[in-house]
């Protein structure tokens, strides 16, 4: 059986332009999972499981969960979210989720991407699921496609992602439909100025046991690697005396957050 799910060997790039320049790039790999195929993959791949411990684990609860959806699958929760936003997802539609799984039980996922299409593969919409180190999550729905066929959205951020980025910035999402390559860009904008450039680019690889083991050796403990780099570069930004924004300082600019941290939940009227 031909599977839509695959892996992407990726480069992650961040380039801060203001108030001081800071650039870094590192390599990881990510899973691209057709959510209808996850149960089959969990049976076929000895080092990958669904909702139980393994070297790599996909847990439904690690992703977008609406009120009352704790026991639903990731696809059911995503379809419910789309319905809440006026999109009736077809029963035979497909959802490809580009994400990091749990590695030996540990998960940290700064961003995941849902690409939604109908049964014949026509793109319908995309959802960007942004997370932070406080275990909060916020989804952003991309409905429109630009002249090059990419999903595009410029929207107020209203989410605490980094202590070195103001909450009144806007996200500029540019998502190309995944194929042989992965090409995703997320920039931070202050009005017309781009102040932070981020890119996730990669090449497709088959999701097989052999390739998964090879990537495990080449990129060990990827979720720990991601959280380490986040804190390491935060420390370097602190040394550069970049202005620091506390999590509790502007709760009114942290809106529509899933699993809100006590720092903002306690300040809501």
User: Quick one: pLDDT at residue 1?
Assistant: 55
pTM of this prediction?
Answer: 0.95
What's the mean pLDDT when you consider all of the chain?
Answer: 93
User: Quick one: pLDDT at residue 197?
Assistant: 97
Has residue 1 been placed in a domain? no
Determine what percent of the chain is predicted with pLDDT higher than 70. Answer: 96
Read off the pLDDT of each residue in 109-131 and give the average, rounded to a whole number: 95
Has residue 243 been placed in a domain? yes
19 upstream amide cis, omega within 30 of 0:
yes
Has residue 103 been placed in a domain? yes
- Quick check: 73 pLDDT over 70? yes
Has residue 73 been placed in a domain? yes
Read off the pLDDT of each residue in 160-166 and give the average, rounded to a whole number: 92
Confidence band of 89 (pLDDT split at 50, 70, 90): very high
Question: What span, in angstroms and rounded, lies between the C-alpha atoms of 164 and 202?
Answer: 27
- Quick check: 267 pLDDT over 60? no
- Quick check: 120 pLDDT over 80? yes
Confidence band of 250 (pLDDT split at 50, 70, 90): confident
Confidence band of 2 (pLDDT split at 50, 70, 90): low
Q: How many domains, the chain?
A: 1
Has residue 80 been placed in a domain? yes
User: Quick one: pLDDT at residue 107?
Assistant: 95
Has residue 231 been placed in a domain? yes
Question: What span, in angstroms and rounded, lies between the C-alpha atoms of 106 and 94?
Answer: 27
Read off the pLDDT of each residue in 161-181 and give the average, rounded to a whole number: 94
User: Quick one: pLDDT at residue 49?
Assistant: 98
Read off the pLDDT of each residue in 2-19 and give the average, rounded to a whole number: 93
**Domain containing 259: what range?**
6-265
């Amino acid at each position: 059986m031909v599977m839509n799910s695959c892996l992407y060997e990726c480069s992650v790039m961040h380039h801060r332009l203001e108030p001081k320049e800071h650039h870094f790039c590192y390599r990881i790999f990510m899973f691209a999972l057709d959510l209808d195929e996850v149960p089959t993959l969990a049976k076929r791949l000895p080092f990958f499981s669904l909702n139980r411990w393994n070297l790599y684990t996909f847990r439904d609860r690690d992703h977008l969960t609406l009120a009352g959806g704790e026991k639903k699958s990731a696809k059911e929760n995503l379809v419910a979210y789309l319905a809440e936003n006026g999109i009736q997802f077809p029963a035979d539609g497909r959802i490809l989720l580009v994400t990091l799984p749990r590695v030996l039980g540990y998960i940290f996922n700064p961003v995941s991407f849902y690409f939604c299409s109908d049964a014949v593969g026509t793109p319908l919409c995309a959802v960007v699921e942004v997370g932070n180190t406080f275990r909060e999550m916020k989804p952003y729905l991309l409905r429109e496609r630009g002249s090059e066929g990419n999903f595009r959205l410029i929207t107020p951020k209203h989410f605490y992602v980094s202590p070195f980025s103001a909450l009144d910035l806007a996200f500029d999402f540019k998502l190309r439909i995944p194929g042989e390559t992965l090409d995703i860009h997320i920039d931070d904008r202050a009005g017309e100025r781009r102040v932070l450039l981020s890119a996730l680019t990669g090449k497709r690889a088959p999701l097989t046991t052999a390739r998964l083991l090879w990537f495990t050796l080449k990129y060990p403990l990827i979720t720990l690697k991601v959280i380490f780099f986040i804190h390491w570069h935060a420390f370097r930004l602190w040394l550069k005396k970049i202005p620091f924004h506390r999590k509790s300082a502007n709760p009114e600019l942290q809106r529509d957050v899933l699993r809100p941290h006590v720092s903002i939940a306690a300040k809501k009227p």
